[in-house]
Chain A
Amino acid sequence: MAQPVISARGLTKRYGAFTAVDGIDFDIAPGESFGFLGPNGAGKSTTMRMIAATSTRTDGTLSVLGLDANHHGPEIRAQLGIVPQGDMLDEELRVIDNLYVYGRYFGLPRAYVKARSEELLDFAQLREKRTARVDGLSGGMKRRLTIARGLINNPKVMLLDEPTTGLDPQARHVLWDRLFRLKEEGVTLVVTTHFMDEAEQLCDRLVVIDKGTIVAEGSPQSLIREYSTREVLEVRFGSARNEAAAGRLEGIGERQELLPDRVLIYADNGEQALQAVTERGLEPVTSLVRRSSLEDVFLRLTGRSLIE
Chain B
Amino acid sequence: MSASKLTPMEAPAPRVWGPLRGLYGGRTHAVVARGMRVIARNNWLIVLTGFFEPVFYLLSMGLGLGALIGGVEFYGHEVPYAAYIAPALMAVSAMNGAIYDSTMNVFFKMRYGKIYEQMLSTSLGPMDVALGEIVMALFRGLLYASGFMVVTTVLGLNLSWTALLAIPAAMVVAFGFASFGLAITSYMKSFQHLDLVWFMMIPMFLLSATFFPISVYPEWAQWVIMAFPLWHGVDMIRQLTTGLIQPSIWVHLGYFAVMILLGVTMATKRLKALFLR
State the A residues within 8 Å of B (CB).
Answer: 49, 52-56, 71-75, 77-79, 82, 84, 88-94, 97, 101-102, 104-109, 112, 115-116, 119, 122-123, 151, 153-154, 181, 184-185
Contacts and interface: CB of A to CB of B under 8 A. Distances in A.
Which size bracket describes the interface of B in this complex? 35 or more
A94 B40 CA distance: 12
A107 B198 CA distance: 37
B11 A101 contact: no
B124 to A, nearest CB: 5
A65 to B, nearest CB: 11
B33 interface: yes
Contacts of A56: 276-277
Given A73-B22, A92-B38, A105-B30, A55 B122 contact: no
Interface string B171-215: 000000000000000000000000000000000000000000000
Given A55-B277, A78-B11, A105 B125 contact: no
Given A79-B11, A107-B11, A122-B3, 7 more contacts: A54-B275, A55-B276, A55-B277, A97-B41, A105-B27, A106-B12, A154-B11
A102 B13 contact: no
B117 A77 contact: no
Contacts of A74: 14, 16, 22, 25, 123-125
Given A55-B276, A108-B11, A77 B122 contact: yes
B49 interface: no
Interface in B231-261: none
**Do most interface residues of chain B lie in helix, strand or loop, or is the interface mixed?**
loop
Contacts, number: 125
B106 to A, nearest CB: 13
A237 B10 CA distance: 59
Contact of B14 (A52, A78, A185): A78
B276 A105 contact: no
B121 A52 contact: yes
A27 B11 CA distance: 24
B24 to A, nearest CB: 8
Nearest to B275: A54
Interface string B101-143: 0000000000001110111111111000000000000000000
23 contacts: A54-B117, A55-B276, A55-B277, A73-B276, A74-B16, A78-B13, A84-B117, A88-B114, A90-B115, A92-B42, A93-B34, A93-B41, A94-B41, A104-B30, A105-B30, A107-B25, A107-B27, A107-B30, A108-B9, A119-B6, A122-B3, A181-B2, A184-B2
Contacts of A90: 34, 113, 115, 118
Nearest to B21: A71
B8 interface: yes
Contacts of A52: 121
Nearest to B24: A74
B5 A93 contact: no
B11 A153 contact: yes
- Chain A interface SS verdict (over half): loop
Q: Which 8 A-B pairs have the closest CB atoms?
A: A106-B11, A78-B123, A105-B122, A153-B11, A74-B14, A154-B8, A78-B11, A82-B121
Contacts of A123: 1, 3
A153 B4 contact: no
A71 to B, nearest CB: 6
Given A54-B120, A153-B11, A119 B27 contact: no
A176 B115 CA distance: 27
A93 B37 contact: yes
A58 to B, nearest CB: 11
Given A88-B118, A116-B6, A154-B8, A75 B34 contact: no
Contacts of A112: 6, 9
A231 to B, nearest CB: 39
Given A78-B12, A88-B114, A105 B124 contact: yes
Nearest to B30: A104
Given A54-B276, A119-B6, A88 B119 contact: no
A82 B124 CA distance: 13
Nearest to A156: B10
A12 B210 CA distance: 56
A286 B12 CA distance: 60
Contacts of A185: 1-2
A39 B151 CA distance: 63
Given A91-B113, A105-B27, A107-B25, A77 B6 contact: no
B101 to A, nearest CB: 14
Nearest to B115: A90
A255 to B, nearest CB: 42
A84 B9 CA distance: 23
Contacts of B27: 105, 107
B122 A102 contact: yes
Contacts of A91: 113
A79 B10 contact: yes
A105 B1 contact: no
A7 to B, nearest CB: 20
B117 A119 contact: no
B25 A54 contact: no
Contacts of B121: 52, 54, 77, 82, 84, 88
